[in-house]
Structure 1
Amino acid sequence: MTPRKIVTIIEETLTEGGRPVAPEARVAIVAAVIPNPWAGEGFVDDLTDGIARTASEVGALLAPRVVAALGAPIEAYGKAAIVGVDGEIEHGSGLIHTLQFGDHFRQAANATTLLPAVEKRGTPGITFDIPLKHITDATIRSHHQSVEVRIADAPHADEIVIALAGASRGRPQQRLAPLSSEQ
């Protein structure tokens, strides 16, 4: 698996609602544009071989890059798989919904929760949102957020964009009561 490109995006929110955000809210996204392991094969009944050849390698490539790009401890995280139009959404899901892929990021972030995800099929330049949740407690509302991503020339029809995102904190200026207050 050789990525065609790796894209790193860093977003820093310094003000929200007309007020300063301190410390700033940082989100880092790292995406790899990779060949679809099942491109040109038609319908594949068993995706196991392609997953074994690709998932762990992509997870190992992306996870440390997100940690380095964020430059702060990760408090919220998420993942995405955007499949080119000649592939199936199941191809992206097969790669990112495995421990072979996700455990690289969980270990790098000292996390225990499942990674929230988005999967879809699209053409180059498609916009997608990566959902983020707290790394150890998915019920912490302040960390439920999403980050928008777009890579101008990806995915090609026979590619998959695999992305990880990490946030240094919850939403800026969050004011929702804890979930426990409604139970």
Structure 2
Amino acid sequence: MPGLTLRKQQVSVEEIFHEGGPRVAPPLRRAAMVSVIVNPFAGRYEPDIAPFMETLKPLGLAMARRLVEALGGDPAVVEGYGKGAIVGAGGEIEHGALWHVPGGYAMREILGGAKAIVPSTKKVGGPGARLDVPVTHVNASYVRSHFDAIEVGIPDAPRADEMALVLVMTTGPRVHARVGGLAAADIKGEDGLR
């Protein structure tokens, strides 16, 4: 990817069969991908950082495709998503905000136009920092059963001059979700909320 220096990537898939209650079949699958890149703005203040979002777009698309593949290859099984960034100590929190558009729109495109806003989190942290990435339903943010978070991190990342960019996807609600709210079966699909 031109203009981007990638050091490493990590893909993980978790399968949850039960949470103390009855076993579910198929299991809930939760996938996360982290890409560690050089932060071109580390160590200095740069007033105009927005153009770097264009550089990140191909990475977002590639990561979204890899996550769908990790979950079996069918975008239709993906029901939840989220994104995040950990910026190394030589950067600033705003550098993590550069991931909002390339990460979020990539997942929405790969999933065929998902309607809900992609929840996000970001922070500045050193090697081994962990991030709880929020998850919501891909088409309706008010579907409570899909409110979740996936913890991610890499032991040696991000270094001070790096960023760890994250995308996550899930195949369904929390196992044994039972606290009410809008059900996925009742989504109207009009506004990304309901």
Q: TM-score, normalised by structure 1?
A: 0.91
CA contact (8 A) 1:38 1:50 kept: no
> Residues 179, 101 of structure 1: CA spacing in aligned structure 2 closer, same or farther, 3 A cutoff?
closer
CA contact (8 A) 1:29 1:165 kept: yes
CA contact (8 A) 2:116 2:138 kept: yes
Paired AA for residue 23 in structure 1:
P
Identical positions, percent = 39
CA contact (8 A) 2:83 2:103 kept: no
Q: What displacement does 1:18 show?
A: 3.8
Instruction: Structure 1 unaligned segments of length 5 or more: list them.
Output: none
Quote the RMSD (CA, aligned, Å). 1.5
Number of the residue aligned with 1:67: 68
Partner-residue secondary structure (3-state), 1:56:
helix
Q: What CA distance in whole angstroms lies between the structure 1 residues aligned with 2:145 and 2:111?
A: 18
Q: What CA distance in whole angstroms lies between the structure 2 residues aligned with 1:19 and 1:62?
A: 33
Structure 1 consecutive aligned stretches of length 4 or more whose deviation exceeds 4 Å = none
Structure 1 segment 78-97 matched on structure 2, within 5 A: 78-94=82-98, 96-97=99-100
Once the two structures are superposed, residues 116-147 of structure 1 have per-residue CA deviations (whole angstroms, 9 ceiling, x without a partner) of 01100101111111100000000000000011
Number of the residue aligned with 2:174: 171
Q: What CA distance in whole angstroms lies between the structure 1 residues aligned with 2:22 and 2:159?
A: 41
The more displaced of 155-164 and 42-51 is 42-51
Structure 1 segment 103-182 matched on structure 2, within 5 A: 103-110=105-112, 111-179=114-182
Q: What displacement does 1:179 show?
A: 4.7
Number of the residue aligned with 1:37: 40
Larger strand fraction of residues: 1
Q: What CA distance in whole angstroms lies between the structure 2 residues aligned with 1:35 and 1:88?
A: 13
Q: What CA distance in whole angstroms lies between the structure 1 residues aligned with 2:41 and 2:169?
A: 28
Paired AA for residue 131 in structure 2:
F
Instruction: Structure 2 unaligned segments of length 5 or more: list them.
Output: 184-194
Q: What CA distance in whole angstroms lies between the structure 1 residues aligned with 2:32 and 2:127?
A: 18
Q: What CA distance in whole angstroms lies between the structure 2 residues aligned with 1:132 and 1:101?
A: 14
Match 1:23 to one of 21, 26, 48 = 26
CA contact (8 A) 2:61 2:110 kept: no
Q: What displacement does 1:65 show?
A: 0.5
Q: What CA distance in whole angstroms lies between the structure 1 residues aligned with 2:178 and 2:54?
A: 43
Aligned residues: 176
Partner-residue secondary structure (3-state), 1:23:
coil
Q: TM-score, normalised by structure 2?
A: 0.86
